[in-house]
Amino acid sequence: MSMAMLVGGRDIGQPVVGPVAVGRLAALGITRVSLLGDQSGFGVVLEGWAFDPARTEEAVRVMFPDRSEAVRVFGEIEQVAVSVAAFERSSSWNAHARNDRKVMTEPPRTIGEG
């Protein structure tokens, strides 16, 4: 599944997610759109099995037709599936768990400390 994240400030307006826009996104192979935000801006995550990341700019123009040049695009670097069950079956699980607890209980270091 391919993924891209669009990031922008509040000054560029709300993303367009009406029926026409959703149809155009689906035609690009996008099957899921997640909208994220806080007081300073927003994030839009686009995902799809048939989504070609080379067409991300088209998706940006669909969602932000008036200010697409102001949107930053984060491309996918890697996806990691997380499963506790597989990790617990590992013979070294207990050693990893001890190391994790040690790291979490050590006091923070200042940069440059040994």
* Domain boundaries along the sequence of the chain: 2-75
The CA-based angle 26-28-30, given to 5 degrees, is 55
pLDDT score recorded for residue 80: 85
pTM above 0.85, yes or no: no
> pLDDT of the chain along its 114 residues, tens only?
899 999 999 999 889 999 999 999 999 999 999 999 999 999 999 999 999 999 999 999 999 999 989 999 999 998 888 887 766 666 555 555 555 555 445 555 545 555
pLDDT at res. 1 = 87
Q: What is the pLDDT of residue 91?
A: 57
Question: What is the pLDDT, as a whole number, of residue 88?
Answer: 67
2-75 in CATH: which number?
3.30.70
- Half-sphere exposure for 90 (CA within 13 Å, toward CB): 12
The pLDDT of residue 22: 96
